[in-house]
Chains A and B, each alone.
Chain A
Amino acid sequence: MTAEASNRHSVAVLQSSFVLESDEVWQDRILTIFAALPPCDVGEHHLVIEGEDQDSRLILDGVTLLDGVRSWAIIDRIVWEANQIAWRSAPDHVLVHAAVVEIEGQGVLIYGPSGVGKSTLAAALCVAGAGYLSDEIAVLDPKTGSVLPYAKPLTIRSQMWDAFAVVAPPKWLAEHMRAVWYVPLRPAAAVPISVVVAPDFQATGDVYPVVRSRAEVLIELCSQTPQLKRYGVGGFEALADIVRDAECVTIDTTDLAIACRKIFDLVASTGHNKNDGA
């Protein structure tokens, strides 16, 4: 984070940014939550937080978004707005609604419909030793075929707090989070994708990852790429390249520990296969 003045700091959100103007207490909270995003010199968007914890106001680019709300509502909204800024901000990249982690230098892209547990699986993999890139947006660089980090704070829902106590936010911050923890994780470097996972928490009972048809996965990834039309053929080709080179599987995530082990094994075997092929 770069200090422009004592109470203004700027945070880069992909190719955009926001500057935060608030008192020091709020700067501490928000900058801790966004600690994994890089600092920058100027803010394209202007966020202002005013008022007390029980009666706070949030203003974005001169428009009052929230007024008279408690501190947690401000935090939830800023994380949401940061994501919206990210979605609008990267004309040079293909943005896919997916989580991405890194295991042994290889990328695992986790995609699926809303509520399927992408963030939860990403969190479990990170706790088990994977590197973190994003739990919301996979930023695909069509030139290199790699996925770049967008290290927004990892989202952990209340029902998973018990399982992820090891990454719990500090108490002074957690008391301003009502039903979701936002956890900053240091981002891993850009990675090529070698495994594409569709989590399935409908208790399939499948012992092994179920291999998916690449064509089917490509169609599903297209449906998770909201600006696909804008990217044109190049965007489609970038997605096709990922799917062509990766193992595409569905994994039963009803037991997260088992699901993580399967993914680590899969990445290891993919690595071996690639080395053998080479």
Chain B
Amino acid sequence: MLSATLIQEVLTAGLRDEHRGNLDEPATDAEFTELFEFACEQRVTGLLVLAIERACVAVRADQRAKVIDAHNESLRTCQNLESMLLDVHDLFAAAQIDMRVLKGPAVARRFYPDRSIRTFGDIDLLVRSRDWDPAAALLIANGFSRRYREPRPGFTARFGKGACFVGPDKLEVDLHRTFVDGSYGFAFDPDLLFEQSQDVIIETTHIATLSDPLLAVHSAVHAALGNRPARSAPLRDLFESIEAGVAPHSIVETAEAMNLSYPVCYALQIAHDRLGISCSPELQAWSANYRPTRREQSALDSYTATHRRYARQVLNGVSSTPGLTSKLRYIAALAAPDRSYLAERDGSVARRLKRALSISRRSKEQS
């Protein structure tokens, strides 16, 4: 099994002056294979290259060549994705749809000393709730197809996080309305994300992204509430944001203003455990001393439990949805979605209810 030390050497490459463990001997074939697969799967081949070049990880020449080939392949994908981003940016600009680029291309340019370290596998765009449906229609009119249907027309624009669209070249755009699904998606008004912006320059085009503290908070939220176990790239993004000069107190203030303090604290703890260092003493102390309310704890559990508690996520979502009419619409859309949505997922309303009950039962057993 891949040692935690080796993983830490890769994920902290360039962040620490010293390295640990006996890493002078080249990795064995088995160790290297596992490390290589980890780097590819977690999209951190750039960090593995950096770790090798900074002598944090010892490999043979053929192993190094393999890593560089894989990283170059990732860079080609990123280049194609950025080319698509420029096209979509032009499309949205012509339709006067205000957008912000999120994650990969944004953090790579705002935070990383060399953007080629931070590779990514899709493009994430944020648009205002009112623009979400027109933006989706525009993508579809230009050859994109929506990966999954929504429970009812207008659901995503009102309640959802967003949806994935696959382009003619099989490259993907995630069109966001907010950061996450469920209760933390209702924790703040997504239009607040548009209040402050800054640009990244791709080729010669200026593209708007979130403010630096918000980008850092988004990385934390992505790490805390996204895949299990947490992805490594957004954890590293947090460190890079601090290294690039984002003030820790601005991250705390932004997280508090967006009611996202607990997920950010949780991400900081994961980052500390995974990388073995803290990104800032101030943030570490804040996260260690943070005491979540019962409601926050329950909301976070619904995202982070071993078997994600979808039923609880939905229930938390209901309680977080503002206004009775919205709550009813939210419940109705999830309890009795359109036939096309059912056909894609559960087949029928009865099967859907059966599945919901089974998830709920399993969730109770676990708790």
Binding site for B on A (CB under 8 A): 65-70, 72-73, 76-77, 97, 113-116, 157-159, 161-162, 178-180, 201-202, 223-226, 254
- 26 A-B contact pairs sorted by A residue (CB < 8 Å): A65-B245, A68-B245, A70-B243, A73-B113, A113-B203, A114-B79, A114-B203, A115-B79, A115-B82, A115-B116, A116-B79, A157-B116, A158-B50, A158-B53, A158-B114, A159-B46, A159-B53, A159-B116, A178-B14, A179-B50, A180-B114, A201-B75, A202-B76, A223-B204, A224-B203, A254-B72
Interface of chain B residues 31 through 49 with chain A (CB within 8 A):
46, 49
- Shortest C-beta distance, B353 to chain A (Å), equals 49
Tell me, in angstroms, the Cα distance from A186 to B60 when the chains sit together: 35
Binding site for A on B (CB under 8 A): 14, 46, 49-50, 53-54, 64, 68, 71-72, 75-76, 78-79, 82-83, 112-117, 202-204, 243-245, 247
- Of B50, B72, B112, B113, most A-chain CB atoms within 10 Å: B113
**Count of inter-chain pairs, beta carbons less than 8 A:** 75
B203 adjacent to A69 (CB under 8 Å): no
A179 adjacent to B113 (CB under 8 Å): yes
A97 adjacent to B203 (CB under 8 Å): yes
- Shortest C-beta distance, B205 to chain A (Å), equals 8
B residues in contact with A202, CB < 8 Å: 76
Instruction: Out of B114, B202, B244, B245, name the residue touching A157 (CB < 8 Å).
Output: B114
Instruction: Out of A69, A161, A201, name the residue touching B244 (CB < 8 Å).
Output: A69
Main SS at interface, chain B? helix
In this complex, what residue of A is CB-closest to B243? A73
B49 adjacent to A159 (CB under 8 Å): yes
- Shortest C-beta distance, B161 to chain A (Å), equals 28
B76 adjacent to A201 (CB under 8 Å): yes
A158 adjacent to B245 (CB under 8 Å): no
B residues in contact with A67, CB < 8 Å: 245, 247
A113 adjacent to B14 (CB under 8 Å): no
A residues in contact with B244, CB < 8 Å: 66, 69, 73
Tell me, in angstroms, the Cα distance from A66 to B243 when the chains sit together: 10
A66 adjacent to B245 (CB under 8 Å): yes
- Of B82, B112, B204, most A-chain CB atoms within 10 Å: B204
A97 adjacent to B114 (CB under 8 Å): no
Tell me, in angstroms, the Cα distance from A92 to B114 when the chains sit together: 31
